[in-house]
Amino acid sequence: MYDPIFAKSFSKFERKRFGFCAFSISLIVALSIYSTFKPCLHPLSILGDAVNLQLSIDAIEDKLGFNNTAIEKTEVEPIYCILKPMADCCKIEGDVRIRANSSTVFFVTSGINVSAGNNSWRVQPYARKVNLGAMKRVKNWTVTLANNKDDIPMCTKNHSFPAILFSVGGYSGNHFHDFSDLVIPIYSTSLRFKRDVHFLTTDTKPWWVSKFRGLLNKLSRHEIVDIDEGKEVHCYTKVVVGLKFYKELKINPSKSRNNELSMYNFRQFLRQTYSLERGKAIKLKKGEKKKPRLMIISRKKTRLVTNVAEITRLARKLGFEVIVDEANHSTNLSKFAQIVNSCDVLMGVHGAGLTNMVFLPDNAVLIQIIPFGGIDKFARTDFGEPSDGMNLKYLEYKIKITESSLSKRYPLDHPVIKDAISLRIKGWDALNKIYLDQQNVTIDLHRFKGTLATAMEILHH
C-alpha cells in the first residue's frame, strides 16, 4: 500500500522536457542500454527496453526534484503490449489461445516475423510490482507468438466474447490494495465490454472472489474461471492480459469514452452494487437538531488511537452522532459499506481502513490522521489526492511528537525524533517499520477539537 509510484507510462513519440541535468544522465543510461542489446530488436522488445530506461529516468527525476507526466503509449498492431515498472498490460486481437495451468498465452500471427526478434514476453497480470516480496505471490505469464498453428495447442473451448486475465495474488486481502490494485483496475479495464467479457483469474483466492462476487457479476455476465485449474484450451479473438492502472484510488478520465470512466461513475457503480441509499452527505442548517454521523476507524494492531473514548465524548459534545468500527476479513462488505454510507464524516489514522471512503456520500468529510514521521507524501497520495475525484472534502490532522508513542521509546535527540529525513533516505521499509508498525497515537483533544469543528462547518456549507 505504501510503495511510491516510480514511473508513469512511456512513449517514443512524445517526451516531457527535462532539466539539463536529468536529460544528460538519462542519455547516458539510454546509451548503456542500447550498447547492451542487438540493434535488430523486435518492436515489442524495444518497448520493454524503453520502459526499463523510463524507470531509470524516473528514479533520477525523483532525486533531482523533477516531475514526470503520463504520456501516450506506443501501439504495435495487432498487439498492444506495454511492460511498465508499475503494471503490465497486453491487449491481443486475433487467434488467441490460453491453455489452463500453463501460464502461457499463445497468439497465432502471420503479420509479424517471429524469427526477426523476440517471440515471447513475460507479463505479471497484477496492477503493482514495486515490492518484489509481495510480487512473488504473482505468477509470471508468457505471451508467445507463433506463425504455425501446429506448434500450439488445439482449442477445446471457443468463446465469442473477449477475456481479461488478471492475478488475485500480490497484496490482495489488504482493503486498500483490494480496491487500488484490483477492483478499480478491473472496473476500468472491463467497463467498455458492457458485461460481455470473461474473467480469467490466476493466483486465485476463492475467498477473495467470493467477497467481491457481487461486484464482479455486475461487470461480467459470464462464469469466472480459475485459469490455473483444469486442462482446457480456451480460445478467443480478443484478450487483455493484466489490468489498466492509473494512480492510487484514481481513474484516468482522459482515457474515457463519453466520460464513462471516472471515479464519480465508479462510486455510482458501488452504490448500485451494494444498495447504498445516500448520494449526498447531510447539509446542516441553523436551528435544525439533526446530528451528522461520524465514524471513527478503530485500528486493532498498529497505529492505535489510545484515547478513542475521549475523542468520542468530544465529538458528541460538538454535535456529532459517533460510531466506532473497523472492518476485517470476515466482515460482510455489503453491510459495512451501508454503514459507512450512512455517515457524513469518516476519520482514522493513515491505513487501509480509510479506503472505505469510496462508500461515503458526496460532500462527506474525510479526516486523515497522519502519524509522526516522514510519511506525509504517501498519506496524501493514498487518500488526500483521491478524495477530490470522489467529491469528498479532505482534512488532515498531523500528529506531533508529544502525541506519539515514539516519544516514550526514543530520546528526544534520537534521529527517529529529530531527523526523519535520514530514515526516509533509507527507503520505505525503514519508514514503515518505525513510523507505522511501531507507533500509536494519543490525540491532543484541544488541538483536535479545531479539526472536528472545521468538519462540522463544512457540513453547514
With 80 as the cut, is the pLDDT of residue 46 above it?
Answer: no
**What is the rounded average pLDDT for all residues in the chain?**
82
- Residue 396, judged by CB atoms within 10 A of its CB (0-12, 13-18, 19+), counts as middle
Residues of the chain with CATH 3.40.50: 293-460
Q: pLDDT grade, residue 71 (50/70/90)?
A: very low
Residue of higher predicted confidence among 122 and 36: 122
- Report how far Cα 458 is from the mean position of its chain's Cα atoms: 28
Residue bearing the bigger pLDDT, 284 or 274: 274
Confidence bin at 113 (pLDDT 50/70/90):
low
Match 539510454 to its residue by C-alpha cell.
30
- Provide the 10 A C-beta neighbour count for residue 349: 26
pLDDT band with cut points at 50, 70 and 90 for residue 146: confident
pLDDT of residue 144 exceeding 80? yes
> CB under 8 Å to 137, separation ≥6 — which residues?
169, 170, 203
Phi, psi of 272 (to 5 degrees): -70, -40
Residue 182 confidence (pLDDT): 97
d(CA 64, CA 59): 9
Query: What tens digit of pLDDT does each residue of 370-398 get?
Result: 999 988 998 999 999 999 999 999 999 99
Omega before 125 cis (within 30°)?
no
- Whether the CB-CB separation of 140 and 123 falls below 8 Å is answered with yes
For residue 253, pLDDT beyond 80: no
- Which range has highest mean pLDDT (118-132, 150-164, 443-457)? 443-457
- Is residue 88 very low, low, confident or very high in pLDDT (cuts 50, 70, 90)? confident
Fold of 293-460: Rossmann fold (3.40.50)
Res 217: pLDDT: 97
* Whether pLDDT at 60 is above 80: no
What's the predicted TM-score (pTM) here? 0.81
Give per-residue pLDDT as tens, 293-326: 999 999 988 999 999 999 999 999 999 999 999 8
The pair phi, psi for residue 319, each rounded to 5°, is 110, 10
- Of residues 423 and 415, more confidence is placed in 415
